[in-house]
């Protein structure tokens, strides 16, 4: 019989197999200094385009003050136990009321982490007779939630309404037989390429099909919509989103998350969300910190305005310089280039070491072979000088990519990878 660990000794997995070449640099890099537009990477100053601190709150003096005071007052333990047992407080409730009001829903419920919360919410919303129809490009937390589902599930092609309809058709026929209902899941903003989910078109299909819509708006919350209430507000269909989700890990620059829906649905989820029933309540310092951040989202529209000044300057600058930024319709700014994985590694190294630009890099199998995706996350704490410097650096690296510099530089890497 095999030792369970045999496979681990032999195969480190699709990402793990690159660890010896990539760790500490391309993966698990250590960005140092306070969270800001410029930080240090391996002792050098870099412009950071890879942190989802959209509204620049992470290091805002008022936020830092409230966080510090809350930590002093409550420590990191309080309250102890799950919400249901001994971890419930007035402030948890207050935050839920304020979050619900902000996203125009009747009620909200806090989640300790977005990821587990999403998994658990999908799990709680469906029973084995129900059918899930979800966008094929969904975030891992949606996919993992769907994995728990004992019944049928269908994917629809990314943001493709024809494919969604086809699958709704199949799901409706199946639901007639099983006696279940249909849950459609989409993201508000797809975090890799920055496209908004076609929520308006999805909810239009409610006229024809009977389903409920669950939206993961991790990247839309705080950044889109007139008041920052997210992608539903942006597209004018917030009321049609049956269950709304957002995390505190992006615009709110913290930890935690929430779901919002009609009171009766939240009341049900409170008693059925296993990630909350069987886990310690969100720490008080995070609750107090979230109340402060939410107040700032409500009362300081300049945060979102500053963010969009940078987003517009960066995205129009990239387009003017002839870069392909795909179909982004959010702050997430992808730049598509052509090249192999070793070329991509040499290019990113050049960007970081010689141009002081730190952004995330995505390659095959996440995107098609031969493509390189550099993902930039603009924030309210960036400056127009950061944008200018970045555009100039991008011009330079594109020249070097096209004149074969990275091919030459990457030859050693390629050899090591057996390419
Ligand atoms: C689309 C999306 N959903 C959910 C999550 C998970 O949220 P959290 O970091 O709060 O676990 C993320 C990442 O933060 C995300 O990008």
**pLDDT digit string (tens) for 272-312?**
999 999 999 999 999 999 999 999 999 999 999 999 999 99
pLDDT band at 17 (very low <50, low <70, confident <90, very high): confident
Round to whole Å and give the CA distance between 294 and 57.
Answer: 11
Residue with tokens 């007035």, as numbered in its chain: 90
Query: Would the CB of 375 count as within 6 Å of ligand 1?
Result: no
**pLDDT digit string (tens) for 181-218?**
999 999 999 999 999 999 999 999 999 999 999 999 99
Q: Does the domain formed by 61-299 have CATH 3.90.228.20? A: no
User: Which atom of ligand 1 lies at the shortest distance from residue 250's CA?
Assistant: 14
**pLDDT digit string (tens) for 41-83?**
999 999 999 999 999 999 999 999 999 999 999 999 999 999 9
* pLDDT of the residue at 323: 98
**pLDDT digit string (tens) for 148-176?**
999 999 999 999 999 999 999 999 999 99
- Whole-number Å distance, alpha carbon 401 to ligand 1 midpoint, is 33
Specify whether the CB–CB gap between 61 and 383 falls below 8 A.
no
pTM of the model: 0.96
**Do 11-48+302-416 and 61-299 come out as alike in CATH topology?**
no
In sequence order, the 6+-apart residues with CB closer than 8 A to the CB of 106 are 100, 261, 262, 263, 266
Round to whole Å and give the CA distance between 76 and 97.
Answer: 23
**Would the pLDDT of 419 be above 70?**
no
**pLDDT digit string (tens) for 225-243?**
999 999 999 999 999 999 9
* pLDDT of the residue at 80: 97
Query: Would the CB of 144 count as within 6 Å of ligand 1?
Result: no
- Whole-number Å distance, alpha carbon 374 to ligand 1 midpoint, is 20
**pLDDT digit string (tens) for 355-406?**
999 999 988 878 889 999 999 999 999 999 999 999 999 999 999 999 999 9
Query: Would the CB of 58 count as within 6 Å of ligand 1?
Result: no
Round to whole Å and give the CA distance between 237 and 351.
Answer: 41
DSSP readout, 133-177? EEETT--HHHHHHHHT-SS-EEEE-TT-HHHHHHHHHHHHHHHHH
- Structure tokens of 11? 């195969």
Q: Supply the residue whose CA is at minimum distance from atom 10 of ligand 1.
A: 114
- Whole-number Å distance, alpha carbon 218 to ligand 1 midpoint, is 6
Provide the pairing of β-strand 182-187 with 131-135: parallel
- Whole-number Å distance, alpha carbon 111 to ligand 1 midpoint, is 12
Provide the pairing of β-strand 357-358 with 44-48: parallel
- Structure tokens of 246? 């957002």
Q: What is the 3-state secondary structure (H, E, C) of 203-261?
A: HHHHHCCCCEEEEECCCCCCCCCCCCCCHHHHCCCHHHCCEEEEECCCCCCCCCEEEEE
CATH of 11-48+302-416, one of 3.30.70.20, 3.90.1150.10, 3.30.470.20, 3.30.420.40: 3.90.1150.10
* pLDDT of the residue at 366: 82
* pLDDT of the residue at 262: 98
Q: Which helix (H) or strand (E) holds 39?
A: strand 38-41
* pLDDT of the residue at 401: 96
| Residue 206, CA atoms < 13 Å, CB-side half-sphere | 16
Query: Would the CB of 115 count as within 6 Å of ligand 1?
Result: yes
For the chain, the structural domain boundaries read 11-48+302-416, 61-299
Q: Which of 196, 221, 249, 332 to mutate to test the pocket of ligand 1 (most atoms within 8 A of CB)?
A: 249
Closest CA to 258 of 226, 296, 293: 293
**Would the pLDDT of 418 be above 60?**
no
Q: Which strands sit side by side in the sheet containing 333-338, from one edge to the other?
A: 333-338, 371-376, 360-362
């Amino acid at each position: 019989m095999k030792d369970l660990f045999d496979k681990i000794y032999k195969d480190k997995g699709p990402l793990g197999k690159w660890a010896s070449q990539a760790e500490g640099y391309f993966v698990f890099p250590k960005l140092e200094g306070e969270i800001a537009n410029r930080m240090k990477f391996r002792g050098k100053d870099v412009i950071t385009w890879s942190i989802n601190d959209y509204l620049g709150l992470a290091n805002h003096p008022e936020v830092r003050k409230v966080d510090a005071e809350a930590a002093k007052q409550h420590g990191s333990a309080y309250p102890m136990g799950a919400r249901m047992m001994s971890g419930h407080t007035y402030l948890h409730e207050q935050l839920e009321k304020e979050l619900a009001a902000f996203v125009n829903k009747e009620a909200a419920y806090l989640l300790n982490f977005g990821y587990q919360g999403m998994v658990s919410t999908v799990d709680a919303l469906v029973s084995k007779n129900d059918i899930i129809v979800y966008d094929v490009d969904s975030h891992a937390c949606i996919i993992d939630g769907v994995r728990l589902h004992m019944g049928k599930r269908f994917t629809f092609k990314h943001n493709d309404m024809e494919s969604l309809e086809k699958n709704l058709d199949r799901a409706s026929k199946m639901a007639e037989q099983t006696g279940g209902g249909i849950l459609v899941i989409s993201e508000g903003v797809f975090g890799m390429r920055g496209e908004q989910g076609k929520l308006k078109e999805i909810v239009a299909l409610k006229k024809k099909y009977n389903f409920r819509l669950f939206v993961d708006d991790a990247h839309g919350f705080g950044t889109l919509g007139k008041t920052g209430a997210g992608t539903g507000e942006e597209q004018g269909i917030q009321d049609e989103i049956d269950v709304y989700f957002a995390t505190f890990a992006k615009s709110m620059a913290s930890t935690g998350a929430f779901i919002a829906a009609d009171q009766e649905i939240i009341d049900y989820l409170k008693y059925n969300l296993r990630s909350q029933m069987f886990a310690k309540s969100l720490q008080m310092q995070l609750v107090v910190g979230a109340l402060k951040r939410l107040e700032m989202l409500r009362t300081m529209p300049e945060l979102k305005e500053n963010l969009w000044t940078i987003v517009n300057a960066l995205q129009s600058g990239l387009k003017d310089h002839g870069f392909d930024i795909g179909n982004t319709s959010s702050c997430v700014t992808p730049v598509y280039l052509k090249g192999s994985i070793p070329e991509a590694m040499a290019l990113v190294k050049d960007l970081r070491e010689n141009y002081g630009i730190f952004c995330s890099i995505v390659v095959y199998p996440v995107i098609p072979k031969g493509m390189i995706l550099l993902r930039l996350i603009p924030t309210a704490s960036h400056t127009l000088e950061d944008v200018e410097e970045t555009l100039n650096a991008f011009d330079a690296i594109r020249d070097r990519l096209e004149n074969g510099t990275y091919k030459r530089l990457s030859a050693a890497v390629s050899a090591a990878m057996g390419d």
